[in-house]
């Protein structure tokens, strides 16, 4: 079987609360685990995309509109749709792991770090396509 979901691969969530949102695979578990005996991936994605910014807006308004709301989640492979794109976020690999989901405080800390990394990526202007919602 060919490994489709490698770390850094961009995918789209098909089912659940975040359906239609773009995610980055942080860790893939092809064989599954004892708690989750199905193939799944740990992903980080954008729950609320940044809003449109124009030249006329002031710095304060631009900063407010450039906010990203992230989420971290364990998703079954059958609920993911892989894309041809990849996003290299080196900081994510150490932040989110399977132990992150054991306690809510760890999850919140992971979300804060992911938020900072994604906002830095957005403000620098890299990977603009990742920070735009899908068109339906």
- pLDDT for 27-49, tens place per residue? 888 887 888 899 999 999 999 99
Q: Is the pLDDT of residue 134 over 90?
A: no
For residue 36, being part of any structural domain is answered with: yes
Q: Residue 1 pLDDT > 60, yes or no?
A: no
Domain count, the chain: 1
Residue 1 lies in a domain: no
* Percent of the chain residues topping a pLDDT of 90: 51
| Residue 33 buriedness (CB in 10 A; 0-12 / 13-18 / 19+) | exposed
**DSSP letter assigned to residue 15:** S
- Residue 135, in any domain of the structure: no
> What's the confidence (pLDDT) of residue 125?
87
pLDDT recorded at residue 2: 62
Would you say residue 74 has pLDDT above 60?
Answer: yes
Whether residue 136 lies inside any domain: the answer is no
How far from 71 is each of 53, 111, 114, 119, CA to CA, in Å?
23, 6, 8, 13
Q: Is residue 20 part of a domain?
A: yes
Q: What is the mean pLDDT of residues 77-106?
A: 85
The chain-wide mean pLDDT, for the chain, equals 88
Residue 57 domain-assigned (yes or no): yes
Distance CA 21, CA 45 (A): 7
pLDDT of res. 30: 84
Q: Model's pTM, two decimal places? A: 0.86
Owning domain of residue 115 = 9-129
Q: Indicate the length of the chain as a whole number.
A: 136
Residue in the block written with tokens 């994604």: 118
């Amino acid at each position: 079987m060919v490994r489709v979901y490698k770390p850094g691969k961009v995918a789209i969530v098909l089912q659940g609360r975040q359906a239609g949102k773009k995610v980055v695979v942080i860790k893939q578990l092809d064989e599954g685990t004892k708690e989750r005996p199905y193939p799944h991936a740990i992903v980080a994605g954008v729950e609320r995309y940044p809003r449109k910014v124009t030249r006329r807006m002031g710095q304060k308004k631009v900063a407010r509109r450039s906010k990203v709301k992230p989420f971290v989640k364990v998703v079954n492979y059958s609920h993911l749709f892989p894309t041809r794109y990849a996003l290299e976020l080196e900081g994510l690999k150490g932040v989110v792991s399977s132990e992150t989901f054991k306690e809510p405080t760890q999850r919140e800390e992971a979300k804060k770090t992911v938020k900072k990394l994604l906002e830095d990526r957005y403000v620098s202007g890299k990977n603009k396509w990742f920070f735009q919602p899908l068109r339906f």
